[in-house]
Each structure stands twice: as C-alpha cells, then as structure tokens.
Amino acid sequence: MTGTLAAFVFLFPKASLDRQLAQDAPVTAATLAYLTLMTHASPGDQALHILLARKALQAGNLTLAERALAPWPDGAIGASTAIVSLRLTIHKVALLATAPDSAARRDAIARYRRSVMRAAPLLPLPDLLAQARIGLGLGLYDTAVALSSEVLRRATTTRDRTSAFRLGIDSLLASGDPEAALRFAIRETQRMMPPSAMLWRTLFHLSIQAGKPGSAARYAQSWYQLADSPAQRRKAFDAVVEAYLSAGRPDIALQTARTLLPGMHQDRSLWRRMTRLALSANQPRLAAHYARLLVGLPESGP
C-alpha cells in the first residue's frame, strides 16, 4: 500500500492534489483515487473518510461516498455527527436519483427513513429540525412528524419547541389528515407547549379544518384571553363567533360575544357584527339596540 501511494504521488504531485482539495474545483478521478489510497493507509481517520465521502458525493459517486463511511455504520459508537449527517445526505441524494413510484424509490425511502430514525438520538437539534424539514419536503410525513416529536421531547427553548410543533402540524396537514394534526397538537400541548395566543390560535384553526367547531370556539376564547393587542382580540372575538355559527348555535355565539364585549375596542364594525349576530339569533330588540350604536344614536336598554 505504501508503494502504491508513493507511486501515485509521483505521478500526480501532492501539491496539485492538495490545491484541488482546498478549492471547490470539479473533483477529478485522480483526487478520488488519492483520497481512497489515503483512507486505506489511515483506516481510523474519520476526517479523511469524511473528506473522501464529500468529494465523492460532489462528483456524483454515491457508491464511493457510502463506502468511505462504511467503517462507521448506522448507530455505530464513536461516529461523529458529521458522519451521521453526511450519510443522511448521501441517502437523500440517492433517493432523489430514483424514479418516482418505482421499486427503487420505495427501497430508497425505506433506507433513508431507517437511517434518519437511527440517527435521530445522535443529532443536535438544528440538524434534527433540518431532517424533519427534509422529510416534509420529500413527502415522508410520518418521518417528519416523528422527528418533530423528538425535537419537542429534547428542546429547551421556546423557539425550538415552536418550530418543531409547527413542523409536525404542517406535515400532518400536508398528508391530508387535519384530525391527526389536531390530535398531534393537543398531545404536544399537554406535554410540551406552554399556553400562548399563538398556540390557541393554531388549535382554533386546526379544529375548524377538522370539522370540530365546538372545540374551535373554546380554543378561540382561550386565544382571546391571551391576545396582546386590540387587533388580535378582534380576530379572536370574530373566531369565537364564526365557530359557534358554524356549529349552528347563533344563540351561544351571541351570548358569548356579549360577555367578551367589555374587552373590545368598540367601533362601528363591532356594532355591525353584533347587529347581524343578534338578528341571526332571533333577538330583534338586541339587534335594534346595537343598530342604534352603529349609527351613533344614544344607547337603549338591551
């Protein structure tokens, strides 16, 4: 092996090869051959194997890229994060190189999914979130949800929790299952997510999409309680009303709206909404009361 390497360096000067390695120039066969010999001479050098894998991937040689990382298979003790992430990149590129709806695509999906789930406990949170986004982009919705749940389990910041929460929901919505998205959101809310206006707003919209207007109305009221501006309170107020109307309960919509009125910025658009709501609830006297406020007349007893 030493003689082969020496002969190779004689034929292809090391300084020239080193310049190629240091630059983003197209990778040549000589570069790959040189790096392959170097990895044979230093089988335990992870940095060298990673360099070979990256250059092979850059050249489109996926077989060589995988072979370079073979000493550290999935789940191997001592494999660096760089090796784990690079292997996932190789599997993703291999997946995208297959024909859609082919047996090769299905095999590549299974291999990528298996690899990413094994790697999940080893990946730092930014990489784990990145893999969840990749899963969503590839249409691997169950994988994206599983990775999002792993981030939520490990996250220590509101930013990471919110990103993972949103990714899990988006993945299930993309799969065409709003009820599953709602179940995911409720489960993670109970486990990991602190109450916030954003959270209740999200649960409101998911409940509407899942065809659960009663739940949507309750979440909208929680949203209203935590809204931090008049504009947000108005949106939450309207959400409460629309949810109860969707449930076929204009009477409860009116009753609830009246309890929320003291916290509202009272303007003509609000009185117009209350007038119409009272009419839909078959309360003509209340409708007349709100109509007077709408046109600027003195209040009458509701």
Q: What is the pLDDT of residues 208-236, one digit of tens each?
A: 999 999 999 999 999 999 999 999 999 99
Mean of the per-residue pLDDT values of the chain: 89
What is the number of structural domains in the chain? Answer: 2
Displacement of CA 287 from its chain's centroid (Å): 45
| Any domain includes 299 | no
Domain ends where: 164, 192, 220?
Answer: 192
Angle between helices 284-295 and 268-280 (to 10 degrees): 160
Proportion of the chain above pLDDT 70, given as a percent: 90
| Band of residue 6 on the pLDDT scale cut at 50, 70, 90 | very low
| Any domain includes 33 | yes
Total number of residues shown for the chain: 302
| Any domain includes 160 | yes
End-to-end CA distance of the chain: 96
| Any domain includes 232 | no
Domain ends where: 148, 167, 192?
Answer: 192
**Domain CATH code at residue 188:** 1.25.40
pLDDT score of 193? 79
Regarding whether 112 and 62 lie in a shared domain, the answer is: no
Q: Per-residue pLDDT for 263 more than 60?
A: yes
| Any domain includes 14 | yes
Q: Per-residue pLDDT for 190 more than 60?
A: yes
| Any domain includes 130 | yes
- Segments forming the whole domain that contains residue 181: 108-192
Q: Do 50 and 82 touch, CB atoms closer than 8 A?
A: yes
Q: CA–CA separation, 255 vs 176, rounded Å?
A: 35
Stretch 133-152: mean pLDDT, rounded?
A: 95
Q: What is the pLDDT of residues 167-176, one digit of tens each?
A: 999 999 999 9
